[in-house]
Amino acid sequence: MSCEAPALDPVFLQLGPLPIYWYGVIIATGAFLALWVATREADRLGVKKDYIVDLVVFAIPIAILSARIYYVVFEWDRYVGEPWWKVFAVWEGGIAIHGALIGSVITAIVFTRVKKLSFWQIADIAAPSIILGQAIGRWGNFMNQEAHGGPISQSTYESFHQYLPDFIMNQMCIEGTMYHPTFLYESIWNIAGFILLLVLRKYPLRRGEMFLTYVIWYSIGRYFIEGMRTDSLYIVGELRTAQFISILLIVGAVILIIYRRKKGLTTHTYQGKKIRQHKKK
């Protein structure tokens, strides 16, 4: 489907020679809102909010670094022959959610061991805020006109035009071609996941199952949406990295839920207005 529309300016603010991009502003907004949600959830469950704040102070820079490393490793050919600083140009996009999750989980494991807290308890508290932050962060991709799908047909365009605002339609018109707004699909999926996790707080989930439910929900959506994207990272041949990782995460999360229940490692429930601090379990 051909089209003509002006793109939104990716620069939020120009401070002399220093541009501040919408991408960074939106990612930061998602992170701060996620932190606010996590601290409220910690307070509801009787966990010191300082633990969450301290963890985030370490986790955010490590997550950004690991997300960038993950992306650059799988897109190394793109940076060959480019100026060396392009490897660090995260403001131009190019960070991978799975890389960020890997870095965040490793950071949380180390942090909870040092603080003698339950990793699973902290992970449960963080789960709703993580998926909310991801939902918001996808709009950074929107501003960069990235993470979109393939070209849409005329009939699809007409259907979208009835429901989507012009600013989304215009931004998905790239070099005269209209593309699937897969960033929007994933953002909506993640918002639905956030609502699901809030609802599940009313049920007596076992320790760790809130976080593992997040992993399963996000991975299911990511698997199908990734298949529509045109900018996927690949492990080898046509095997998309995100789809492969999503399958591993779904299978791993289900196995962990079953294993931890059978082994009695989930004696404490997530539900409750106040729960005591526990050692690692």
Q: What is the pLDDT of residue 227?
A: 94
Q: What is the pLDDT of residue 157?
A: 87
Name the one residue in this structure whose structure tokens are 């005591």. 276
Question: Contact, 170 vs 7, CB < 8 A?
Answer: yes
Q: What is the pLDDT of residue 271?
A: 59
Give the chain's mean pLDDT.
Answer: 90
Instruction: Identify the bridge partners of residue 2 per DSSP, sorted by sequence position.
Output: 177
Q: What is the pLDDT of residue 266?
A: 74
* Cα distance between residue 109 and residue 93, in whole Å: 28
Instruction: Count CB-CB contacts under 10 A for residue 13.
Output: 10
Q: What is the pLDDT of residue 268?
A: 67
Stated pTM of the model: 0.88
Q: What is the pLDDT of residue 129?
A: 97
Question: Contact, 197 vs 213, CB < 8 A?
Answer: yes
Low-confidence ranges of the chain (pLDDT < 50): 273-281
Q: What is the pLDDT of residue 93?
A: 62
Q: What is the pLDDT of residue 278?
A: 44
Q: What is the pLDDT of residue 96?
A: 87
Do the annotations mark residue 44 as ligand-binding?
no
Per-residue b or e along 54-79, where b marks 16 or more CB atoms closer than 10 Å to that residue's CB:
ebbeebbebbbbbbbbbbbebeeeee
Q: What is the pLDDT of residue 279?
A: 43
Largest Cα separation within the chain, whole Å, is 61
DSSP assignment string, the chain: -B---PPPPSEEEEETTEEEEHHHHHHHHHHHHHHHHHHHHHHHTT--HHHHHHHHHHHHHHHHHHHHHHHHHHTHHHHTTS-GGGGG-GGGS---HHHHHHHHHHHHHHHHHHHT--HHHHHHHHHHHHHHHHHHHHHHHHHTT-S-BSBPPHHHHHHHHHHS-HHHHHHTEETTEEB--HHHHHHHHHHHHHHHHHHHTTS-PBTTHHHHHHHHHHHHHHHHHHTTBSS--EEETTEEHHHHHHHHHHHHHHHHHHHHHHTT---SBS--S--------
Q: What is the pLDDT of residue 86?
A: 80
